[in-house]
Amino acid sequence: MSDAGSPPPSNSPEAIDAVPLRHPWRWVAAAVIIVVVGLFLYGAATNPAYGWSTFTKYLFNERILLGVANTLQLTVYSMVIGIVLGVILTIMRLSDNAVLSSVAWVFLWVFRGTPVYVQLAFWGLMPTIYQKIQLGVPFGPTFFHIDLQNLSFPFALAVIGLALNEAAYMAEIVRAGITSVPEGQLEASTALGMSWGLAMRRTVLPQAMRVIIPPTGNEVISLLKTTSLVTAVPYAFDLYSIATREIAARIFEPVPLLLVAATWYLIITSVLMVGQFYLERYFSRGASRKLSPKQLEALAKAQMGTGA
């Protein structure tokens, strides 16, 4: 029997004095990696084949900066169009209408199943395949007529090709995000009087964004690098084309110009990764993978009970 003045016994589990395991081989592996990286950097810095003087000369060249601007435009325009079309395809895919869902499925099958370079090459050949576009009454007057062979719009064709390919992947990303939210959330919102669209905006999409944002950020970064394939259209004013086909072919030094292009891709990708990090943190508010103190206490009690 405890004394009247003694404090009541605590129900919290005793702290565990954990001793971390020692891993000496980790330090050995880290030392080996540091030595190998150091030797590579020293060799690259002293190797004249890299042409570091040419690299510094053309890193901020006007033509290179023009290529950076054009690459960013290709990425932004294609991604915006791809997201919009991806949402539309997701709605069609989830529709009860068999025609709409079938059309969306065929679109995804074609654009996800063929290489993007082949798709861009086909878009570049569109003025040859469809030389003229006419709109009018069959066997009657023509109201609209365009001669595609007389037009030069490789930038627009590059954007269209990249956007349609991106839409196929964004449709699956958005669909995965929406289906990750329990159906009861939408049913409860509609039961409270919300319309389907309002319930999607207020209830489903905010929760789905936790699933949508990470792969979408990866798609933006991937699309940025995919713009180097627009030479298939052909569009020759992106970063890769200007660095390799225009400047490197003129001065006969491909290695330093490839390093210039790679550096700018890495800079832009790093900025996009920082933006992705903050977006993920914003939409993951309220969700935590760490256990709360009450959950830790309940877990400790359960383990003590099973071990008794």
Q: How far is CA 7 from CA 2, 4, 10, 145, in A?
A: 9, 8, 9, 93
Q: Where are the domains of the chain?
A: 49-285
To the question of domain 49-285 being in CATH 1.10.3720.10, the answer is yes
Residue 3, pLDDT score: 56
**What is the distance of C-alpha 122 from the center of its chain?**
24
Structure tokens at 39: 């030797």
Using pLDDT thresholds of 50, 70 and 90, give the confidence band for residue 132.
confident
Q: Who's near 276: CB < 8 A, 6+ residues apart?
A: 213, 214, 217, 218, 220, 221
The length of the chain in residues reads 308
Q: Is the pLDDT of residue 178 over 70?
A: yes
Q: Phi and psi of 26, rounded to 5°? A: -65, -40
Give the 3-state secondary structure percentages of the chain, helix then strand then coil, rounded to 5: 75, 5, 20
* 13-28 residue pLDDT tens: 666 666 677 778 888 8
What's the pTM? 0.79
Instruction: Quote the CA–CA distance of 73 and 267 in Å, as a whole number.
Output: 16
